[in-house]
Structures are given as C-alpha cells and as structure tokens.
Amino acid sequence: MTSDTSWSGRARRIGDLERPDHYLLRPDDVCYFFGDYTSNESFSYSETNQLIRNLKKPPSVRGTAQWPHKMRAIERAARAIRLSLQDDALDSITIVPIPPSRPKSSPDHDDRMLQVVKRIDPRCDVREMLLSTADREARHVSGARRDTEELKASLEIDKGLCAKDVGRVLLVDDVLTTGCSFTVCKDMIHAYFGEVSVVGMFVARRVLPKVDFESLFGDVQLP
C-alpha cells in the first residue's frame, strides 16, 4: 500500500473544520478519525480509500483471494486504534462496535467492526451491546440524509451485556458520514446507563470530492 496524506497514524479529533461534513453531530459530540475516505472515488484514489474498501469487502468473498486483504485491513484498523489509546485507559473503557447495516440473520451480515475491536487489546472490555434488527442502507458512499428515528427503530440494545456498569464508552465504526449512527447509538447508551462518557472512534471520515469550478465554467466571466 502506498502512502499519502489521506491517512494518519494518529487519531485526529473532529473539529470545526470537519464538523460541517458530519451535520448530525452535536456540539458536545467528541469523535476521532485516522483517515479521509473520499466518496465516489475508486480503490486506487488514496491509501484510505484502499483500506476502507478492503475493510468493507462483503462476506461473500470469504475463501477467495480477496479475503486476506479484508483481514489485513481489520488488523491495520485495530492496530491504529490500539496505538492511539493510553495503556492506563485500557482497563477503564468499554469498547462497543457500531452495528453494521445488516442484522445477524442476513447472509450479508458483516461483523468487521466487531473483529476490529476484538483485536485492539485483550485487556479491553468489548461488548456487542448494540444490534441491528432490520436491513438498512449503508451510507458510506452517498450523501443522502439519514432519519435518526428510523435508524433507532432498526437497532436494539442487548440488555444481557449491560448487567455490568460501564465507565467510559468508545463507540467504534469504519466511516463517519453524517454522524447519524454515532448520535443514535450514543443516545441509546445514555438511555440505559445514564450520562456516561461516550466518545466516537472512526477508521476514517467521509469527505466529498473537490469540485473543479474552472472546468465547470471554463472561460465564463462570473460577476
């Protein structure tokens, strides 16, 4: 994999510059990311695009030559998150993968983020406490708007994994798009555990391709 500026080995916090791209995040939401994933661009567009597309390879490629690429992407994502965490934090956080767009009953169910968080560190308290109960459209490519209530209706919390209290929660997903999944999952955790600290950690955030205005207008003189 070639190196470029789309990927960083350190976690970067979503700030005022990035927040407009993720319009459903609220002012008090704290989220981190490692790379810029450019939507509507190919596998070869950037290092981060290559990583995310490998990570998102469907379960149907298991057993083919494509599967090792997915597993390497899972390992790389886990390693990046692990290196961003302080050793003294590993015993005090609960790591929760944001559920995929397909429920476990679906043949297209992809537990890639569960596999990522399980590889972060054996000391981590990993809980798959949020589950999808219905198919929903993945939004890592499109900029279509998300309905938070519709998304919430497609998720449930596994109360069997909530008997033990949590201190701080790290919600982990592959791509931050609008912020809908993060805010809904955060609200569900707060509804069950109260006002615990919930932070988002994303392998990448979605950025939209830059528009070449010169090519759009040519020699037109704008007022």
Q: What percent of the chain has pLDDT over 90?
A: 77
User: How far is residue 208's CA from residue 177's CA, in Å, rounded to a whole number?
Assistant: 10
Q: How far lies 141's CA from each of 12, 55, 138, 159, in Å?
A: 21, 14, 8, 32
pLDDT at 33 over 80: yes
Tens digits of residue pLDDT in 166-191: 989 999 999 999 999 999 999 999 99
Can you give the pLDDT at residue 173?
A: 98
125-126 and 197-207 beta bridge pairing: unpaired
Identify the sign of the CA torsion 203, 37, 43, 174. positive
| DSSP conformation letters of 145-203 | ---HHHHHHTEEE-GGG-SS--SEEEEEEEEESSSHHHHHHHHHHHHHH-S-EEEEEEE
The model's pTM is 0.89
Tens digits of residue pLDDT in 181-218: 999 999 999 999 998 999 999 999 999 876 554 555 55
Can you give the pLDDT at residue 140?
A: 45
**3-class secondary structure, 69:** helix
Q: How many CB atoms lie within 10 A of CB 108?
A: 12
For the chain, the first-to-last Cα distance in angstroms comes to 45
User: How far is residue 180's CA from residue 151's CA, in Å, rounded to a whole number?
Assistant: 8
Can you give the pLDDT at residue 147?
A: 83
Q: Where residue 141 falls among pLDDT bands split at 50, 70, 90?
A: very low
Identify the sign of the CA torsion 73, 102, 136, 163. negative
Q: How far is CA 102 from the centre of its chain?
A: 15
User: How far is residue 15's CA from residue 25's CA, in Å, rounded to a whole number?
Assistant: 11
Q: How far is CA 43 from the centre of its chain?
A: 18
Can you give the pLDDT at residue 213?
A: 47
User: How far is residue 43's CA from residue 71's CA, in Å, rounded to a whole number?
Assistant: 16
Mean pLDDT of 73-81: 98
Q: How far lies 157's CA from each of 99, 116, 152, 198, 213, in Å?
A: 10, 20, 10, 15, 46
Domains of the chain: 13-209 (3.40.50)
